[in-house]
Structure 1
Amino acid sequence: MVRVTETFEFAYIDVFAATPLTGAPLTLVPDADGLTDAQMRAVAREFNQSETTFVLRSPRPDATWRLRSFTPTGEEVFGAGHNALGAWLWLAASGRLGLDGGEGAFTQLIGEDILPVHVRLPDPAAPVVTMDQSAPVFGAEAADRAGLAAALGLAEDDLVPDRPARVVSTGAGHLLVPIRDRAAVDRAAPDTARLIAALRDVGEGCYLYTHDTVDPAATAYARFFNPAMGIPEDPATGTAAGPLAAVLTAGDGTVVVEQGHAMGRPSTITVTVSGPRVRISGSGLVVAQGTMMLPAAG
């Protein structure tokens, strides 16, 4: 029997969600400075969420907190999406931010990037977090449209004919694939091996989107697949919504992205773009908290 010598708190947060059990579920481990990299990866495998985020003291004076996030396969991921937004939701709800006047400005260290964060409390139970992402970087286009469609379980004519599938990054590079309509987006059934091969040289994940939305006020309806990272599908992907907004606004405007409907976990992601500045906003809820009992590192 392994003797338990360490305990760590954890929480579940539903991110980009208006009610519990919707949006993107995130496991969060605060006060994670005592965990080794190997333990963080093991904990992420144990929880088996698309991402598990660890909150640590920042080693740099210009960052309020350091965040590290891992997928179930143990891959560390970067960029400010639901992995980061969920951490700030928990920090606000737990009183860690000392929000005098109901709002405050902070910074987060993710990888080597220091990114601004703004948190406000219009409702104490539902903080609203706005985060800067990295400036957009536009990458390669997918050359084999027929192969990409087949990897997604679609026909080539399900892809919008006059718009290329292209990799764009605002902290993490994803392949953005314009699809003809919502029915085709919902019909996608990726072949894991073929999609991994299609993404190998272009981007981390694949973001299918259409302008055929559920809510007429929304801009795009999307689904996200990242099988190489152990994420068959993600119900809300801020690191993909940011690049999508950069494409759709041509550098100036606001988009609202619907995601998660096909999984029964609807989410809403708002992104504002002004030149190189991409800002993602959303809310969510802490839905569970508990204690992990771990063997000592070593």
Structure 2
Amino acid sequence: MSRDVPFVLVDVFADEPLSGNPLALVPDAEGLPVSTMRAIAREFNQSETTFLVRPTVRDALWRLRSFTPIGAEVLGAGHNAMGAWIWLAATDRLPVGETDFRQQIGDDVLPVRVLRNDGSPAVVSMEQSRPEFGATVSDSGELVAALGLVDSDMVAGEVAQTVSTGASHLLVPLRGRDAVDRARPDSARLLPALHAADAEGCYVYSLDPIAADVGSVAYARFFNPTVGISEDPATGTAAGPLVASLVAAGKVADRASVVVEQGYALGRPSKLAVTVAGEHVLLSGSGLVVAEGVLHLAE
């Protein structure tokens, strides 16, 4: 006996197919054991695979469970949640216009807003948690070496800092796009540096984006060996903390809607829109459903 389980691939934070951050999504995952979800995530080998199931709390419309290829469950709301709501809108499961919903991720119920117009991809916006500014790396030598860079690649007078808007990531300021692109992290060396900073992933960035003239403020790459992600093309749980830190430092105006560029080094350009207003961090993006199929699983 076998069970047929449909799946789709969604390119998130993408303007066109085969760009952005690909998400494997299993829309009808109710009844799948967690062990099977983890096995499916290994099969797809995407940075995250998301499963839509019934919520266990009254206020949420859907519960989202997301796993990395090594089976780690992701409890932040980034491209994993974006892709699910993009699919729901693209398949006419959401009303036309701008509508607020609630989603369950882990034990949290988080708001999500979907703007759906006929003939164009939906825009999904999610408020992240209040920014929390954590540990700084006072001695950057080992961190820089773990990234395959040299001391002069760091911005003089600045330090790497762990910041969270739902997931804690170490933000590393580099002097230019060339330094960001040259990063070649050694996971075995980067892991201890992340643990010491109480961070999950590492977001290297520079403030010389490609499209500064149309609202981009940073150019970034994301490495997360703690959950088995060598590099992620677009990371909403890191872009939010980055813009929050730039606002706190006075480098981005409060309430400004700005874009973080990511994924270019992987050939998957991604644009993550973030607005920070005081303690409120709003992540927005769009995307496309690019493939669909069926898994044939043993009962």
TM-score over 0.5 for the alignment? yes
Match of 1:117 in 2: 112
Deviation at 1:228, TM superposition (A): 2.4
Deviations 1:192-240 (A, max 9, x none): 2101121123211000011111112310000000122111111100000
Partner Cα distance (1:18, 1:114) in 2: 29
| Structure 1 residue 68 displacement after superposition | 0.8
Q: Output the CA distance in 2 between the equivalents of 1:247 and 1:255.
A: 13
Deviation of 1:156 (Å): 1.1
The answer on whether the counterparts of 1:93 and 1:124 sit within 8 Å (CA) in structure 2 is no
Q: Is the 8 A contact 1:242 1:280 kept in 2?
A: yes
CA–CA separation in structure 1 for the residues paired with 2:187 and 2:55: 37
Q: Which amino acid aligns with 2:26?
A: V
Query: Is the counterpart of residue 41 in structure 1 residue 38 in structure 2?
Result: yes
Contact 1:245 1:254 in 2 (8 A): no
Scaled by the length of structure 1, what TM-score is found? 0.95
**What corresponds to 2:6 in structure 1?**
9
Check conservation: 1:93, 1:125, Cα contact below 8 A: no
Q: Out of 199, 202, 208, which is 1:206 matched to? A: 202
Residue 70 of structure 1 is matched in structure 2 by: 67
Does the residue aligned with 1:200 lie in a helix, a strand or coil?
Answer: helix
Percent identity of the aligned residues?
59
Amino acid at match of 2:265: A
Q: Which moved more, 1:123-132 or 1:259-268?
A: 123-132
Cα shift at 1:252: 4.2
Query: Larger deviation: 118-127 or 150-159?
Result: 118-127
The reply on whether 1:231 has 2:229 as its aligned counterpart is: yes
How many Å separate the matches in 1 of 2:92 and 2:275? 27
Q: How does 1:144-183 map to 2 (within 5 A)?
A: 144-183=139-178
Distance 2:257 2:199 in 1: 24
CA distance in 1, matches of 2:128, 2:226: 23
Is 1:89 the equivalent of 2:78? no
Moved segments of 4+, more than 6 Å: none
Supply the distance in 1 between the matched residues of 2:106 and 2:193 (Cα, whole angstroms). Answer: 26
Q: What aligned pairs does 1:229-268 form with structure 2 within 5 A after superposition?
A: 229-250=227-248, 252-268=255-271
Pairwise CA distance, 1:277: 1.1
Partner SS, residue 53 of structure 1: strand
Report SS of the residue matched to 1:35.
coil
State how far apart, in whole Å, the 2-side matches of 1:96 and 1:121 are: 11
Instruction: Quote the Cα distance in structure 2 between the aligned partners of 1:161 and 1:75.
Output: 36
The residue that corresponds to 1:279 in the other structure is: 282
Pair 1:105-2:108 in alignment: no
Question: Corresponding residue for 2:22?
Answer: 25
Instruction: Give, as a single letter, the amino acid of the residue that structure 2 aligns with 1:14.
Output: D
Distance 2:161 2:118 in 1: 38
Letter in 2 for 1:199: L
Give the stretch that moved more between structures: 39-48 or 111-120: 111-120
The answer to whether the Cα contact below 8 Å between 1:63 and 1:108 also exists between their aligned partners in 2 is yes
The alignment partner of 1:157 has SS state of helix
Per the TM alignment, residue 59 of structure 1 is displaced from its structure 2 partner at its CA by 1.5
User: 3-state DSSP class of the match of 1:68?
Assistant: strand
Q: Structure 1, residues 229-281: CA drift from partner, whole Å, max 9, x if none?
A: 11111110000001001101126433210000111000100011111211100
Return the offset for 1:184: 0.4
Distance, in Å, in 2 between the alignment partners of 1:92 and 1:160 is 42
Cα distance 1:188–1:270, how it changes in 2: closer, same or farther (>3 A)? Answer: same
Q: Structure 2: 5+ residue runs without aligned partners?
A: 249-253
TM-score by length of 2: 0.94
Q: Kindly provide the CA deviation profile for residues 76-102 of structure 1, in whole angstroms up to 9, marking residues without a partner as x.
A: 0111100110110001111122x14x2
| Secondary structure in 1 matching 2:88 | helix
Cα shift at 1:123: 4.6
